[in-house]
Amino acid sequence: MALSVLSASVIANGSEIEQLKHRLTILEQHQESRTKSPLNARFYATFRPSVTQSKNVSSSTDVSDFLSHAGLYLDHGFADGWQAIVHGEWSIDIATNGNFGKARRAYVGVEGPYGRIAIGKQRPVQYLLIAEYVDIFNHANAPFAYDNFSPFFVDNLVSYKKQWQRVSLLASGQFNGLQGANDADMFNIGVGYDHNKFHLAASYLTQDMPQESNTHQVGDRGVTYAISIANQFDNGLYLASAWQQRELESFIGNNSTQNTLDVSLAYRLNPLNKVKLGYFKLDDDWEGINNISYQGYNITLEHQFSDNFQVHIELLRKAFDFSHDDTALSIGLKYNFSIKWRSIN
């Protein structure tokens, strides 16, 4: 009887030991997973060919490309609350030889509790806070007034972003010591407010542009003030507007003021069809043939065959004050894809 009790006790103790070993293994694996950093990666591309009929003085029809591109984005957590970011993006020019390689974005950054800092070719504050919300059309030149005087991608850029709940502060500076100014070639700062589907922002931009004949010398200087407002309504209506005023000081002695206004509207007619309307106006006070003042509109109809494939037809009209009007009718396709993966290092 005593032997049986002893055997049962040994079996029980052995079982408890195995359970303790199992729990210890789980704890070790958990601790190891905490020390390892996750790597998130995304490869994406969008192809946007179109056939465009343009009419100015004469008519022409051509295969065009509305900013097809591909990119790779990675973020890697290396400490509690900190992560490194790498982003590269390059154009794909379907309109000519299908060339691949013109950089749109190429930067490395670090993000933590005190904000995000990145260095390289990036979107400037002016686009992120002002233009992005009216840039809803498929055409490569949208937003159609903003496009003339403000940046889309900027190389040699240092950027900073910090967000406090609904308020965000963005700042960026361009430092290209090989041309233009010896210090900052561009400085851009802005503040945004976002709540639910509402956006409001203001920005300030200064630019020292190199001379065409001598890129080592500063040419024209521009100071731009801008505001944007956008809202997505519950009934499916999206409405956004962006306004800018640029004071341009020419190095040859002529100063001018330019104003741009872009208004964009989108409405989903049903789950597969959407209509987009745009009005834009550019006021330029240059005299004579240098004045490029115009206004116009865009009408776009989109049909979504699937989440990542659509066809659209677009009418773009520009009426110039001192030149021939432009009209372009485009029929285009858009195909998007994205591949995501996650690993533990």
Instruction: List, in order, residues 6 or more apart from 39 with CB less than 8 Å away.
Output: 74, 75, 76, 342, 343, 344, 345
* pLDDT value of position 194: 98
* pLDDT value of position 278: 98
* pLDDT value of position 6: 41
CB 188: neighbour CB atoms within 10 A?
28
Considering all CA atoms of the chain, what is the largest pairwise distance in Å, rounded to the nearest integer? 115
Buried b / exposed e along 102-133 (16+ C-beta atoms within 10 A) = eebbbbebebeeeebbbebbbbbbbbbbbbbb
- The SS3 of residue 313 is strand
Nearest alpha carbon to residue 296 among 67, 143, 133: 143
**Long-range contact pairs involving 83-88 (C-beta distance under 8 Å, separation at least 24):** 83/110, 83/111, 83/112, 84/108, 84/109, 84/110, 85/109, 85/110, 85/111, 85/116, 85/118
pTM of the model: 0.86
Q: Distance between terminal CA atoms of the chain?
A: 56
Q: Match 């700062």 to its residue by tokens.
A: 189
The identity of residue 216, as a single letter, is H
Distance of CA 24 to the CA centre of its chain: 47
pLDDT in tens, the chain (345 residues): 444 544 444 444 667 777 776 777 666 655 554 556 789 999 999 999 999 999 988 899 999 999 999 999 999 998 888 999 999 999 998 988 878 878 999 999 999 999 999 999 999 999 999 999 999 999 999 999 999 889 999 999 999 999 999 999 999 999 987 776 666 789 999 999 999 999 999 999 999 888 777 777 787 889 999 999 999 999 999 999 999 999 988 877 778 899 999 999 999 999 999 999 999 999 998 777 778 899 999 999 999 999 999 999 999 999 999 889 999 999 999 999 999 998 876
The identity of residue 277, as a single letter, is L
Secondary element (H or E) of residue 24: helix 2-35
CATH class, domain 40-344, is: mainly beta
Which tokens belong to 113? 């509790």
N residues, the chain? 345
Task: Using the Cα atoms of residue 316, residue 317, residue 318 and residue 323 in order, give the sign of their dihedral.
Answer: positive
* pLDDT value of position 214: 76
Pairing between strand 255-270 and 99-112?
unpaired
* pLDDT value of position 13: 61
Rounded to whole angstroms, how far apart are CA atoms 274 and 311? 11
* pLDDT value of position 64: 92
Pairing between strand 186-195 and 167-174?
antiparallel
* pLDDT value of position 26: 67
